[in-house]
A and B are shown apart, each in its own frame.
Chain A
Amino acid sequence: MSDADSRPFFSALPEVSVSEEVRVEGNISMASAPKDDGFSTLDEPVRDTVLRDLRAVGTKFVHVLYPKQSQALLRDWDLWGPLLLCVTLALLLQGGSVDSREDGGPQFAEVFVIVWFGSVVITLNSKLLGGTISFFQSLCVLGYCVMPLTVALVVCRLVLLGGSGTASFVVRLVLVSASFGWSTFASTAFLADSQPPNRKALVVYPVFLFYFVIGWMILTFSPAQ
């Protein structure tokens, strides 16, 4: 609020960006010419457009790694990052122990459904409990916070290349637990502020369960021999 008072020129900006969430992303990187923003993106090279979006996704990844600035992920949401992470997760969980037996690991569609359906249910839950966060903002946060677990899966697959003995299991267990804690902590840092204080635990618990299940899928992944 003091920020807005000291710079009256930008005082109207937060209101505008809240009401039109989609536009914010463009405005930030085109700060030099905010007036003709809609026209100037027309004749820019495609490479710039793609790079700008990628940069926005990359910035959000950094925010998940350092979950301190709780506004950045919430103000300008996108679902590119969650899609990327979810597809990576589901693809890397393939090629596992698919024997002739049917009770192997989760299939691609199962991972996909668990991630998306899970985050939709958690979002609905927090909205029903009276949270002030918008639907897609919450989806965005939950999706981006899968990142530590996806990284853990990549490392786990590398570890599994070396062998699958007890030592490798202990390494994977430590990795997955650490990234599970990280995911839960990061998403809680973003989401918990939007809740009434006496309901925080009710909102955090489903998030905990969600990342726990994803962590379990990663930990139990064992490659086909």
Chain B
Amino acid sequence: MATTKDPFEFQEFEEAESLLEENRGSTTINIEDVKESQKQKRSLGGDEDEEYLLTNDDKAKLLSGPSKNAPIWSFEYYQKFFDVDTHQVRSRIIGSVLPWPGKNFIDLHVGRNPDLYGPFWICATLVFAIAISGNIANFLVHLGKPNYKYVPEFRKVTIAATAIYCYAWLVPLALWGVLLWRNNKVLNLVSYSFMEIVCAYGYSLAIYIPAVVLWIIPSEGLRWCSVVVALCLSGSVLLLTFWPAVRDDNLRVSIAIMSAIVVLNVLLAVGSKMYFFSSPEPVHQANNSSVVMTIPAKASN
């Protein structure tokens, strides 16, 4: 028993230590002492499985323990939203672009540890990807025209940033409010926190980054193809994730919520396609009319 316990204990110990020392070094000894004594107590009559479950539980408690106490204005409070490793972020991105029937993104990949790293940097990447590839596409369209003068169109960065960050933050806020309201009326089995919804929405934008880079190629068919593919992937991830939260509700309400999610997603994708990537044929006037059409659509986001 002692030989099997020792390496296991050492590993656990070090992990917990490294987690703790970021937050507060002063209480480290205290918490670990409690944990160790608990563990020793348990391992006396210990079954391996049971012990594993317990230590896992302990770890979860340790993880959430110090940060839960931290007030909202402190640095530690926000540190818990950046408590991810490289492989976790990679698996979340992969999970967000590969919807699988019956697999819930939040349950499967996020767990009880929603992060803000992914949503923030995926949005930032998408903003610059849209602005830069929109500019390159515009350049390729006009390439060879005699009186065309290249302009960097830096304004696109600002517009893309506004649209995408609004989508990634305001839509989850609204969805969270609606889910909260419905939860008061009907008891749903699954409920998500605000951070979990933001996390799911942020990661669901990841598929648009390669799609937007593909839009550089000046072929309308290919562009619409990639829009549809990206829409299907990201939309179905969102639907599969949020369907369990509204399943127990009135059928009409749950369908309304689901279709609102899809419509907003379509608005974002089609709006950015129409606004940032003008099609090859139209000249200046057609470009202007598409601007007028898509700006109200974005405002409603």
Interface residues of A (CB under 8 A from B): 96-97, 99, 101-107, 110, 125, 127-130, 196, 198-202, 205-206, 209, 212-213, 216-217, 220-222, 225
Measured CA separation A106–B121 after assembly (Å): 22
Interface-central residue, B75, B78, B120, B121, by most chain A CB under 10 Å: B121
Measured CA separation A106–B128 after assembly (Å): 14
Within 8 A of A (CB), among B77-122: 78-79, 81-82, 84-87, 89, 117, 120-121
Binary CB contact string for chain B from 50 to 92 against chain A (1 if under 8 A, 0 otherwise)? 0000000000000000000000000100110110111101000
Which residues does chain A contribute within 8 Å of B155, judged by CB atoms?
A: 102-103
Measured CA separation A14–B112 after assembly (Å): 42
Binary CB contact string for chain B from 212 to 244 against chain A (1 if under 8 A, 0 otherwise)? 000000000000000000000000000000000
Which residues does chain A contribute within 8 Å of B82, judged by CB atoms?
A: 125, 128-130
B284 CB → nearest A CB, Å: 10
Measured CA separation A205–B152 after assembly (Å): 24
Measured CA separation A212–B121 after assembly (Å): 14
Q: A97-B149, A202-B117, A216-B132 are in contact. Are A110 and B85 (CB under 8 A)?
A: no
Measured CA separation A128–B75 after assembly (Å): 8
B7 CB → nearest A CB, Å: 20
Interface residues of B (CB under 8 A from A): 18, 22, 75, 78-79, 81-82, 84-87, 89, 117, 120-121, 124-125, 128, 132, 135, 149-156
Interface-central residue, A101, A105, A107, A202, by most chain B CB under 10 Å: A202
A103 and B151 contact, CB distance less than 8 A: yes
Q: A199-B86, A209-B121 are in contact. Are A130 and B149 (CB under 8 A)?
A: no
10 contacts between A and B (CB under 8 A): A103-B151, A103-B155, A104-B151, A106-B154, A128-B79, A196-B18, A198-B87, A202-B85, A206-B121, A220-B152
Q: A105-B152, A110-B154 are in contact. Are A209 and B125 (CB under 8 A)?
A: yes
A103 and B149 contact, CB distance less than 8 A: no
Interface-central residue, A101, A107, A216, A217, by most chain B CB under 10 Å: A216
B86 and A130 contact, CB distance less than 8 A: no
CB nearest to B132 among chain A residues: A216
B121 and A101 contact, CB distance less than 8 A: no
CB nearest to B79 among chain A residues: A128
A125 and B128 contact, CB distance less than 8 A: no
B121 and A220 contact, CB distance less than 8 A: no
Contact with B86, one of A107, A198, A221, A222 (Cβ below 8 angstroms): A198
Measured CA separation A137–B55 after assembly (Å): 38
Which residues does chain A contribute within 8 Å of B18, judged by CB atoms?
A: 196
Measured CA separation A130–B18 after assembly (Å): 10
Which residues does chain B contribute within 8 Å of A225, judged by CB atoms?
A: 149
Measured CA separation A144–B195 after assembly (Å): 35
Contact with A222, one of B78, B121, B124, B152 (Cβ below 8 angstroms): B152
Given contacts A99-B149, A217-B154, A220-B135, 10 further A-B contacts (CB under 8 A): A103-B154, A103-B156, A104-B151, A196-B18, A202-B86, A202-B89, A209-B124, A209-B125, A212-B128, A213-B128
